[in-house]
Amino acid sequence: MSETPAASPAAETDQQSTVRRGAAYDSVFLRAARREPVPYTPVWFMRQAGRSLPEYLKVREGIPMLDSCMRPELVKEITLQPVRRHDVDAAIFFSDIVVPLKAVGIDVDIKPGVGPVIADPIRTVEDLQRLRPLEPDDMPYITEAVGLLVDELGGTPLIGFAGAPFTLASYLVEGGPSKSHEKTKAMMYGAPELWAGLVDRLAAITSAFLKIQIEAGASAVQLFDSWVGALAPDDYRRSVMPASTKVFEAVADYGVPRIHFGVGTGELLGLMGQAGADVVGVDWRVPLNVAADRVGPDKGLQGNLDPAVLYAPTHVVETKAREVLHAAAALGDSGHIFNLGHGVMPTMDPDALTRLVAFVHEASAR
């Protein structure tokens, strides 16, 4: 699928290592994530698979979101759609952060235009008992879908992902999407032991979900802590960071790059740099040269074009994308993965995304 050679000649002579490393090992995306030199800056988009694509809307017709995540052939098709269309440097597995919660028996649904809704929110010690560990046998459809994808993608890497403990806890405690996360924070401040038990169980579920994807062939993982920017640094460090660190440690031995992303995390970037990921995702509010100082040395950065820029004329998109590349020069020759500061929006023009990929490749060529 990608024009990137499957592996370097040296790796090909060592069959075992080729198998262990996977065909995508020398892809531009994985090289950048490991901070190795790259011929150009790799690019992919959060939420690249989904409602901005007419071909997505067509295959999803009449199939509820969470049902679609349990159909391997459909997951494969939806994951491949943006790779075919945009020539992005990585595929992101089509699933959702609440899929492992459903797999352990939580009654969760994704309501169109709303997001995840939990029938019986978790608010007490008794409720917490319902959150049992995730076993590999709970998700045969994930293993199957990742396997199908890795076969088809060849040299294009597949990014696995999961929701981070705080962001998952917010859905579970609030019962659905929330702007202020007040019930979640009330538990974090007012019932610290219950809170610690909750994020601990979620760290275990998330670690298991990532392991399932890596063992099936995903060659990088991203931990989405989308809503963690709602926290002050001290609260993040005390009440959330240890659980996220557990997740990064749980998958460290696989040697696949670990990406850590959240929105509105300007004040948390230093701590996120310490939490254990190899690459830190940055939203559009902090220029990448400033983010590099906050995150600290030896980390890659991912981001960070304001998604709304995509609604402006092409020459503006290109000027703003060039600014992102320019700020990323602070990292040196490698370690930058181009992305949006948050996800693709449903009303975005897919052609603008395709043009942006070509522009980033061209403008960053070394």
Active site residues: 47, 51, 60, 96, 171
Stretch that binds ligand CP3, among 15-23, 35-43, 111-119, 317-325 (CB under 6 A): 111-119
Nearer to ligand CP3, 161 or 166 (CB): 161
Strands (DSSP E) along 196-353, which ranges? 220-224, 258-261, 279-281, 300-305, 336-340
> Among candidates 276, 281, 225, 215, which has minimal Cα distance to 247?
276
Over the window 226 to 245, marking each residue x when it contacts ligand CP3 by CB under 6 A and - when it does not, the resulting string is: x-------------------
Cβ(168)–Cβ(230) below 8 Å: no
Among 99, 103, 110, 134, binds ligand CP3 (CB under 6 A): 110
Shortest gap between Cβ of 297 and ligand CP3 (angstroms)? 27
According to the binding rule CB under 6 A, does residue 340 interact with ligand CP3? no
Measure the CA angle with vertex 73, ends 72 and 76; round to 5°: 85
Among 32, 49, 158, 269, binds ligand CP3 (CB under 6 A): 49
Measure the CA angle with vertex 269, ends 223 and 360; round to 5°: 70
Cβ(91)–Cβ(148) below 8 Å: no
According to the binding rule CB under 6 A, does residue 285 interact with ligand CP3? no
Nearer to ligand CP3, 112 or 313 (CB): 112
Enter the tokens of residue 112.
Answer: 């169109």
Nearer to ligand CP3, 97 or 149 (CB): 97
Shortest gap between Cβ of 31 and ligand CP3 (angstroms)? 22
For residue 337, what are the contacts with CB-CB under 8 A and spacing of at least 6?
A: 29, 32, 33, 41, 42, 43, 44, 259, 279, 300, 301, 302
The interface with ligand CP3 within residues 140-179 (CB under 6 A) comprises 161
Nearer to ligand CP3, 218 or 331 (CB): 218
Residue type, 118: I
Cβ(80)–Cβ(149) below 8 Å: yes
> Among candidates 300, 339, 288, 366, which has minimal Cα distance to 40?
366
Nearer to ligand CP3, 79 or 364 (CB): 79
Among 4, 21, 33, 50, binds ligand CP3 (CB under 6 A): 50
The interface with ligand CP3 within residues 76-105 (CB under 6 A) comprises 92, 94-97
> Among candidates 232, 226, 249, which has minimal Cα distance to 178?
226
According to the binding rule CB under 6 A, does residue 337 interact with ligand CP3? no
Give the footprint of ligand CP3 on this chain (CB under 6 A): 46-51, 60, 65, 92, 94-97, 110, 112-113, 115-116, 161, 224, 226, 343
